[in-house]
Structure 1
Amino acid sequence: MSLQISILTPEKPFWNGQAEEIILPTETGEMGVLKNHAPIITGLDVGAMLVRTKEEWNSYALMGGFAVVKKNKVTILANEAESAETIDAEEAKNAFEIAKGNLEKAEGVKQKVEANFAYKRAKARFQVVKVVNKYS
């Protein structure tokens, strides 16, 4: 038996399926989950989530949320989620470069916080596209 994965966003159920392994972007770093993982609830950071099915690796950009792991079921409650297939690679690269530049130029607390979030979001989307290209 493999893991049963459910990704839910406020708008709709985003993805449901079976996986052999997932790697989550938690607030304390990346966390891998395999079959028979100990039960856990963890906060998710903005970042790339990798899912290994029997056939391939898939990647998704998550914009924060929570994950619950229990009895080979992983439920992910994400603020937003995007599949690599829906992200334009060139646009993601350009957005990442712009966000990186804006973060370096940010002044003041509010501007730095906003620039940091935009950077993390753009980085997650760019990473997701790079992973797909790497494993394709």
Structure 2
Amino acid sequence: MSLTLRVLAPDQNVFDGSADEVILPSTTGQLGILTGHISMLTAIDVGVLRVRANGSWNSIALMGGFAEVDSDEVTVLVNKAELGSSIDANAAEADFQKATSAVAGMEGQPASAEKVKAQQQLNEARARMQASKSAD
């Protein structure tokens, strides 16, 4: 028996298939989902969803949203998502370094919209970089 996983973004169906195991980046930490999991709804943080299917692991960078688990079906609704295998690892690493520098340059400054935006860009760049490396 396996799980049915659907990862949906506003502009695309990112993943729709069977999975043996799913690890979700929830706002309260990593959640492992196996067949027979209790029904639940959880908020998804910016991070990497990992899915094991046919003995191999794949990664999907998620940019926040919600996940529902019900009767061995996992539905993930997110603001944006990218398959790790479709992310250019070198570009993702460069984006991460750029975002890290931007956040470091704002250290010690009072809270502002620019600082929050820079931190969000850093979180997204980190997720993309991690997903691209997991796809190797």
1:109 equivalent to 2:112? Answer yes
CA distance in structure 1 between the partners assigned to 2:130 and 2:115 by the alignment: 22
Q: Is the 8 A contact 2:14 2:83 kept in 1?
A: no
Unaligned stretches of 5+ residues in structure 2: none
User: Which residue identity is paired with 2:116?
Assistant: V
Q: Which residue of 1 aligns with 2:55?
A: 55
1:78 equivalent to 2:78? Answer yes
CA distance in structure 1 between the partners assigned to 2:90 and 2:65 by the alignment: 27
CA distance in structure 2 between the partners assigned to 1:44 and 1:103 by the alignment: 23
CA distance in structure 1 between the partners assigned to 2:127 and 2:9 by the alignment: 17
The percent of aligned pairs where both chains have the same amino acid is 40
User: Structure 1, residues 37-89: CA drift from partner, whole Å, max 9, x if none?
Assistant: 11110000111110000231010000101000011000000111101121111
Q: Which residue of 1 aligns with 2:122?
A: 119
1:6 equivalent to 2:12? Answer no
CA distance in structure 1 between the partners assigned to 2:86 and 2:133 by the alignment: 13
User: Structure 1, residues 67-118: CA drift from partner, whole Å, max 9, x if none?
Assistant: 0001100000011110112111100001001111111112342122001100
Report how far residue 13 of structure 1 moved: 1.9
Q: Is the 8 A contact 2:22 2:52 kept in 1?
A: yes
Aligned residues: 133
CA distance in structure 2 between the partners assigned to 1:97 and 1:14 by the alignment: 26
CA distance in structure 1 between the partners assigned to 2:8 and 2:63 by the alignment: 12
Q: Is the 8 A contact 2:14 2:81 kept in 1?
A: yes
Runs of 4 or more consecutive aligned structure 1 residues displaced over 3 Å after TM superposition:
none
Q: Is the 8 A contact 2:21 2:34 kept in 1?
A: yes
Unaligned stretches of 5+ residues in structure 1: none
CA distance in structure 1 between the partners assigned to 2:14 and 2:75 by the alignment: 11
